[in-house]
Structure formats: structure tokens, C-alpha cells
Amino acid sequence: NYFEELISKAKLQKEIKEVPKLPSYSGQMEVTEAKGIWIPATSQDPYAGSNNSNNQKRRNVTAYYTFIYLKAIQELRKQTFKPNDKGVPFEYFEWERVIVDEIHESLCTTKAEVAEDKTFKEKNRRAGRELLGITEKDILKRPLIFRKSIFGLTGTPLLDSSSRVIELASLMGNTYVIGLSSHWRKLERESSRDIFLHNYLEPKQSREVRKNIQGKCQEYLNVACCRNKTGEEMDGIDKLDHVRVVRMTSEEKKLYLKSQSGIAPDSKSLAITPADFDPSSGHDITKFLKQNASLPSRGKELLRICREILSTKGDEQTKIVIFTDGRIGAGDIARKFLCENATDGGSDPIGCTWLDVDDSIEVKNKKISWYQSGDATEEDRARPRALVLHFEHAAGLNLQTECHNLILFTPLYVGEGASTSDPVSDASTELQAIGRVFRAGQTHHEVNVYRIEVQGPNGEECLDGQLIRRNTDDETVAMAINAGE
């Protein structure tokens, strides 16, 4: 593999008999509360067995890999290569500039973020951290040497934790803001006793210390970070928001109420909110969300919107992007509405392209490319006009050159009910989805964003109306885009 070749080029084969493999984990989360009674001067586990005994072993493996990798790079740079030599590892070279896209992926990340992000696996995160040399303070010893500057690009706010800002400062400017002992991966080289003391003392950190850490982090961000300035490039491009209201039938109302799993019969209603679902009491909001997405009236409106767009003069061959919540199976639901026999009075189904769970990355990229460029052949023109994506695909895609119509199949809600949701995060994800077409490089003067709001049979506000108001609230949107000071 690549690492073996690097060690070979560095002439370390005799010293390093067994090349370590990249660990598939990026760090260990510690239990922060001691259980039972800890008797001093004994070997008793202060966590009473609640901690994973393999954590320290994993840290050792991780630290060893980092050590060998950086050592091989230093030895590699002592070698001399001829201009026509092939296979020289790129860590050997110097670069004028290094630009890291989606920089937040490799910075300090919680286990919850890793679990939520299905597209960027933990092993890939580990590889990114190694390549960037985040834990190496000496810039000249890092894998990527830049002569002029290093830039990090991200659409994800970096203000959510001081640890993440500390790593950003270390990577970008070789600047340690404050609190180096809190550096995320320093734990990988500490002993078990150090780790216990670290977690024991951390909660007792004074407010004054926390205030200074956060204050210094904010100072660094004010100096080193800037928002993308696309104002002039977006001049003349308007975003038009359309809320298409449709009423459910009496039969759909029965299914809507029945899907409110765990809710007492006398409490079930069209006005029920996600906060009314209590997961600790056995309420299952997932069934409710899925039924809301499955309402036939929603599917009919989706078809009507697509037919309306494609019947507009000049847009007969335009391409439409539809974002759905894949966690509740809404992507499959939208696909069925689009591909099965027309139920909206149209003669033929619209059809669509979707990213199948079994598709390879190559196949997924090929499918997406169909909606990034114009139709050059008859085969291109024969493809469906609609592309169905999940919200988790919202980051990183550029669809603005061929698409100027986007449909949000359902308003996004991520949570289990009660107070488990994060409106700012949901609004941010929707904005990222809209940003796939409403961005610099858009070739049309108007970008249409359609939302579908299903109301009760008599016009009663239901889940859609609640979530659309929540996700488009001015204050929530401002927080989602980090617009404030």
C-alpha cells in the first residue's frame, strides 16, 4: 500500500519490520463520572468498570501510527530523487499553497457528529488528521509543507466548541490559542491515571478560565476567519420562495392521527407538535414523520409542481432537484410518487434519478454529473428531469449551472420529540440544500424554491406548517448562517 511505499522510499524497511495500519477510529470519549467508591492507593478502576478497557490500547496504536508516519516523512525528505523518478510520495514536495475543503471534517469532532455523518467515515477522518499533521506543532515536520499559506474552507460553523477552534488555530497559523492540555488528541498519549485526573478536574474548571479560553478563541476567529464574500456575484439572482398548500383528505387525516404512536387517543390531533412526543414514555415520532411524508396529497402536489415547471416556456428540458429526509425513508416515498403511474391527472410519470444505497461512489458521481452539465446527446435528453437527493447530500454539490428549481419534499426535523431537536441545525441543513442551486455561478436570474405544506381537511395547520415556520424564522436563519457578530 501507499504507506509501505513511503517507508521504502524513506529507506526504513530494515528498521520498521511491520508497517502499521491506519487505525479506524479517531479518538476515544471518556466516561466523566466515577461510579462506586474509589479507594486510594489501589488498582481499582475509578470508573467501576464503566470505561472501555481497550481505550488506552487504541490510543497507543494511534500514537504509534502517527510516530511512524512522521518519522518516515522526515527520512524521506533526506533522500535525493532524480527528475524522472516515478512514485515519489507527495509528502516529499513543497507546495505554494494548501487549500483544505470541508476543513471541519478533520477538526475536533464529537462521537455524535461521527455517528450522524454516514458519508464521511471515521477512518477517513483519521486519515485526514494524519495528512494535515494536526498534532505536530512544527509546521516543517508536517506531511504538507506550504511556502505561502494554508486555507481551510467550510460551510459548517466553527464556533461550536473551543477545542475545534484551538485545532483550527494550530493547523492554520501554528497558533495555540490557550489550554493546550485540552487539545483533543493529546489524550491519546496520556496514561490512564492522567486521563482520570483530567476528567476529574475538568468539570471544576472555573468560569474565569472558561471565559478566557472562549474569549481568546473568538479573538482568533475575528482575525483569522472571514465569511465568503459572494455579494457581487449574486447580484441579479433572486431567490423566489413558494409554499404550495394542499389539504389532506378525510382518509389521510385518519392515517395521520393513527401514526401518532404512543400518544393517548384523546391527545391525538392535527395540531400535535414534535414537542408533544416524549421518547421516554414510549412515543415514536418516526412513524408520524414517515406517515406525514407518505400522504398521497403530498405526492400529487409534488407531481403538479414538476409538471408546472416543465410546462413553462423555455424550461421544457430543465432539471429539477428534490431534497428529502432519507432518515425516514422520504427519498423512497418521493421516488415512488415520481416513477409510478401518474396520480395527478397527468398522462405519464415524471420519473427521476436517485442515488441507490448500493451504488458505488463512481456510479453516484456519474449520476450527479448528469445534473451538473447540459444535455449533449439524445441519451442525455432522454433521462428523467428530476434528481432526488437526501438532505445528507446537501454539502459540497454544485448544481447551479443546470438547475434553478428546487423542491423541499418535507420540512426537515431531526430529533426524537420533546426537546431533542435543534432548529438551528435543521435550518442550516435546509439552507445548505438550497445553496446547491442558489449560489455563485447560477445561470438564471431567478431560483425557485418550493415547499409543500399539507394542511388538515378544513385548512388546519399541521406538522408542515409548524416546521416551515420554525425553519424559516428570521432569528433561526440568522443563527444558522452565523450572520451575527
Show the CA angle centred on residue 162, arms to residues 159 and 167, nearest 5°: 95
Strand arrangement of the beta sheet that strand 353-354 belongs to: 238-247, 446-455, 403-408, 319-324, 386-390, 353-354
User: Which residues, 6+ apart, have CB-to-CB distance to 249 below 8 Å?
Assistant: 296, 297, 457
Structural element, H or E, at residue 246: strand 238-247
Strand spans (E) along 362-474: 386-390, 403-408, 446-455
Radius of gyration of the chain (CA): 26
Q: For residue 178, which amino acid is it? A: I
In this prediction, residue 88 carries a pLDDT of 93
pLDDT confidence bin for 39, thresholds 50/70/90: low
pLDDT higher than 50, residue 128: yes
Q: What is the pLDDT of residue 175?
A: 54
Is residue 245 within 8 Å of residue 455, measured between CB atoms?
Answer: yes
Overall average pLDDT of the 40-47 stretch: 50
How many C-beta atoms surround the C-beta of residue 420 within 10 A?
14
Ranking 51-55, 71-75, 333-337, 399-403 by mean pLDDT, the lowest is: 51-55
Most confidently modeled of 59-63, 221-225, 316-320? Answer: 316-320
Q: Which residue's C-alpha cell is 429526509? A: 325
**Per-residue model confidence (pLDDT) at position 95:** 94
Give the model's confidence band at 47: pLDDT under 50 very low, under 70 low, under 90 confident, else very high: very low
Instruction: Name the DSSP class of 183.
Output: -
Sign of the Cα torsion 99, 100, 101, 103 reads: negative
For residue 202, is pLDDT > 70? no
pLDDT of 467 higher than 60: yes
In this model, does residue 482 exceed pLDDT 80? no
Query: What average pLDDT does the chain have?
Result: 82
Element (H, E) at 58: helix 55-76
Instruction: Name residue 390's beta-bridge partners.
Output: 324
Of 300, 267, 262, 299, the C-alpha closest to 283 is 262
3-state secondary structure of 131: helix
Q: Which residue has the higher pLDDT, 232 or 52?
A: 232
Q: 210 or 320, which is more confident?
A: 320
Quick one: which of 304, 365, 347, 355 has its CA closest to 331?
355
Amino acid at 474: D
CA atoms of 52 and 365, how far apart (whole Å): 39
Q: What is the pTM of this model?
A: 0.65
Of 256, 327, 349, the residue nearest 297 (C-alpha): 256
Q: Are 422 and 415 in contact (CB under 8 A)?
A: yes
Residue in the block written with cell 406525514: 292
pLDDT tens track for 390-405 = 998 877 788 999 999 9
Give whole-number Cα distances, 95 to 90, 99, 127, in Å.
10, 10, 19
Whole-angstrom Cα distance, residue 425 to residue 420? 12
Question: To the nearest whole percent, how much of the chain has pLDDT over 90?
Answer: 45
Residue 274, C-beta contacts closer than 8 angstroms, at least 6 positions apart: 285, 413, 415, 417, 418, 421, 463, 466, 467
> What cell numbers appear for 2 in the block?
501507499
